[in-house]
């Protein structure tokens, strides 16, 4: 399969390295992935024969300006033109999340789907704002929109809800869905760091969003929760209708006090749906030891589904990070290659 990648930051670079590491595994499964183009905001690399990934990865260790890459580097980006000429099967969209406009990713995805190209993405903005429109377009064109990375990266939230709870009605979703805030809370607790110091470490490790206020003010949790709600509960809820709280007000003293009570602070997003109404919100909660998400620490995340006929299902792990995020992009590509249809 031929791929084009838009966004060559933390996740994009990790994805390239992963493809190099997994080359033999992929070949053994009969999966040949050829990268035709990689775009950043103002430059890119294009090679219709397939980019030499090892060479480009080495080049990128030293330089960030792809225009100066000797084989196919260029500095004027025209995606429409590229998609017309490069004949790719899958567009991998990895630009920064914008929860207000979804751009630039929303436009990238619409162009690709309209041209009959599958889209695999880590970008939550377009899925939050235009999930139904994009899936309709994908269906009309007979291609897939793969969003496994948008609701917790490596944590298999979408697959768990759609595949493992198939046939059941999900009545509540409770999620610890943001690795950055959970990591900050743990660093403050264990190393007695201030909130600001812990956030800087999360940023250095590449787990925070390009705009970290999305993490610490609760919007990333809210976005993931809303995508899960709209996909799994077949609703069309909007960000502006829900109450969202972050963690920026918490102090080391609050955390220590909770510890003495045998409790831990966690940023929790929760949706409860009955026949009459739906309640959705994100808030900092003090969990006690009996709560299924109490032991989800550090960069790990977790989700608990309650369903009518398949009971409760709690999935824990899926640490945030550029490598697990890249691996969840590859997971979606493999699922696509196997011919499974996830979003039905
Ligand atoms: N980091 C993580 O652990 C995870 C991230 N995600 C999601 O993955 C996506 C990427 O995250 P991450 O790699 O950390 O982000 P980065 O900020 O590290 O990288 C973003 C990349 O997108 C490029 N870009 C920005 N605007 C455009 C544009 N208009 N056209 C082409 N390229 C553009 C940037 O180019 P330039 O450098 O030239 O500006 C950069 O290469 C985000 O949507 C994020 O929410 C999901 C799960 C986990
Ligand atoms: N910033 C996010 C990255 C994955 O979505 C997080 O911290 O979990």
pLDDT at 194: 87
Does residue 179 lie in a domain region? Answer: yes
Using the mean position of ligand 2's atoms as its centre, give its distance from the Cα of residue 19 in Å.
21
Between the CA of residue 110 and those of 30, 226, 286, what are the distances in Å? 29, 21, 41
Q: Which one, of 208, 190, 191, lies nearest residue 199 by Cα?
A: 208
126 in the same domain as 21 = yes
- pLDDT above 90 for 181: yes
* Predicted confidence band of residue 342 (pLDDT cuts 50, 70, 90): confident
Annotated binding residue 298 = no
Percent of the chain with pLDDT over 90: 91
Q: Give me the pLDDT at residue 78, please.
A: 74
> Which ligand has the shortest distance to the CA of 78?
1
Query: Domain span at residue 71?
Result: 2-154+323-338
Residue-level pLDDT at 344: 61
Q: Name residues contacting ligand 1 (CB within 6 A).
A: 6-12, 39-42, 94-97, 104, 122-124, 149, 153, 206-207, 209-210, 320-322, 325
- HSE at residue 70, side-chain half, CA atoms within 13 A, is 4
- The residue that leads in pLDDT, 340 or 293, is 293
Query: What is the C-alpha separation between 258 and 302, in angstroms, rounded?
Result: 21
Residue 251 neighbours by CB distance under 10 Å: 11
What is the complex's ipTM, to 2 decimals?
A: 0.98
- Would you call 235 helix, strand, or coil by DSSP? coil
Interval 57-102: pLDDT, tens: 999 999 989 999 999 998 887 777 777 777 899 999 999 999 999 9
Q: Is the domain of 89 the same as that of 14?
A: yes
Q: Is residue 344 part of a domain?
A: no
- Tell me the CA–centroid distance for residue 335 and ligand 1, in Å: 23
The answer on whether 167 is annotated among ligand-binding residues is no
pLDDT 10s digits, 101-118: 999 999 999 999 999 999
Q: Are 179 and 97 in a shared domain?
A: no
Is 15 inside any structural domain? yes
Looking at the fold, whether 12 and 122 belong to one and the same domain comes out as yes
Set 186, 224, 266, 304: catalytic member = 224
Q: Is residue 209 part of a domain?
A: yes
Nearest Cα residue to 280 out of 333, 225, 215, 337? 225
Shared domain check, 286 and 182? yes
Domain count, the chain: 2
Q: Say if strands 118-121 and 90-93 run parallel, antiparallel, or are unpaired.
A: parallel
265 part of a folded domain? yes
How confident is the model over 8-30, as a mean pLDDT?
97
For residues 11 and 85, membership in a common domain is answered with: yes
Q: What is the CATH number of the domain that holds 169?
A: 3.30.360.10
> Rg of the chain's alpha carbons, rounded to an integer?
20
Distance CA 90, CA 92 (A): 6
175 Cα: distance to centroid of ligand 2 (angstroms)? 13
d(CA 13, CA 3) in angstroms, rounded, equals 15
The predicted-structure confidence for 264-313, as pLDDT tens digits, reads as follows 999 999 999 999 999 999 999 999 999 999 999 999 999 999 999 999 99
- Do 58 and 78 lie in a common domain? yes
* Ligand 1 atom having least distance to the Cα of 8: 41
Same domain, 107 and 139: yes
Whether residue 94 sits in one domain with residue 230: no
- 179 and 146 inside one domain: no
Task: Tell me if 331 is assigned to some domain.
Answer: yes
Report which of 300, 150, 176 is spatially closest to residue 230, judged by C-alpha positions: 150
Token pair recorded at residue 189: 């607790």
Quick one: how far is CA 112 from the chain centroid? 19
CA of residue 8 to ligand 1 center, whole Å: 7
Alpha helices, DSSP H only, in the chain?
Answer: 10-21, 23-28, 53-62, 79-86, 105-114, 124-141, 157-159, 179-191, 195-204, 213-216, 219-232, 252-260, 322-338
Closest ligand 2 atom to residue 209 Cα is 1
Helix, strand, coil proportions of the chain in percent (round to 5)? 45, 20, 35
CATH number at residue 74: 3.40.50.720
* Within a domain: 306: yes
Mean pLDDT over all residues of the chain? 95
- Find out whether the beta carbon of 208 lies less than 6 Å from any atom of ligand 2: yes
Counting from 1 in the atom list of ligand 2, the atom nearest the Cα of 181 is 7
257 is catalytic: no
Counting residues of the chain whose pLDDT is more than 70, the rounded percentage is 100
pLDDT value at position 73?
Answer: 93
CA distance 67 to 300: 37
Which residue's C-alpha comes closest to atom 5 of ligand 2? 152
Q: Are residues 291 and 175 in the same domain?
A: yes
- Closest Cα to atom 8 of ligand 1: 122
Based on the fold, state whether residues 327 and 186 are members of the same structural domain.
no
What distance in Å separates the CA atoms of residue 268 and residue 279, rounded to the nearest whole number?
A: 14
pLDDT, tens digit (0-9, with 9 covering 90-100), for 229-273: 999 999 999 999 899 999 988 999 999 999 999 999 999 999 999
Q: Which residues contact 55 (CB under 8 A, 6 or more apart)?
A: 71
Q: Measured on CA atoms in the order 331, 214, 12, 18, is the torsion positive or negative?
A: negative
């Amino acid at each position: 399969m031929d791929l084009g990648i838009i966004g060559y930051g933390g996740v994009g670079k990790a994805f390239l390295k992963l493809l190099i590491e997994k080359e033999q595994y992929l070949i053994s499964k009969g999966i040949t992935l050829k990268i035709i183009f990689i775009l950043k905001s103002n430059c890119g690399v294009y090679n219709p024969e397939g980019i030499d990934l090892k060479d480009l990865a080495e080049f990128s260790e030293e330089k960030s300006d792809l225009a100066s890459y000797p084989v196919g580097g260029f500095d004027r980006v025209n995606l429409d033109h590229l998609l017309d000429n490069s004949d790719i099967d899958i567009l991998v969209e990895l630009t920064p999340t914008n929860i207000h406009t979804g751009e630039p990713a929303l436009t990238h995805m619409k162009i690709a789907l309209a041209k009959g190209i599958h889209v695999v993405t880590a970008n939550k903005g377009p899925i939050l704002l235009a999930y139904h429109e994009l899936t309709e377009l994908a269906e009309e064109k007979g291609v897939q929109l793969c969003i496994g990375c948008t609701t917790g990266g490596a944590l298999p939230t979408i697959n768990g809800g759609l595949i493992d709870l198939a046939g059941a009605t999900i009545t509540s979703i409770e999620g610890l869905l943001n690795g950055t805030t959970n990591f900050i809370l743990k660093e403050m607790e264990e190393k007695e760091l201030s909130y600001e110091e812990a956030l800087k470490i999360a940023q250095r490790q590449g787990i925070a969003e390009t705009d970290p206020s999305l993490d610490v003010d609760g919007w990333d949790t809210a976005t993931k929760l809303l995508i899960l709600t709209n996909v799994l509960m077949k609703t069309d809820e909007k960000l502006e209708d829900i109450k969202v709280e972050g963690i920026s007000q918490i102090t080391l003293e609050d955390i220590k006090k909770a510890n003495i009570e045998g409790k831990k602070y966690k940023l929790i997003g929760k949706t409860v749906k009955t026949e009459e109404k739906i309640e959705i919100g994100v808030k900092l909660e003090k969990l006690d030891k009996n709560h299924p998400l109490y032991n989800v620490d550090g960069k790990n995340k977790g989700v608990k589904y309650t369903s009518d006929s398949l009971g409760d299902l709690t999935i824990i792990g899926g640490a945030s990070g550029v490598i697990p995020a890249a691996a969840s992009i590859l997971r979606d590509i493999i699922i696509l290659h196997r011919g499974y249809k996830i979003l039905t």
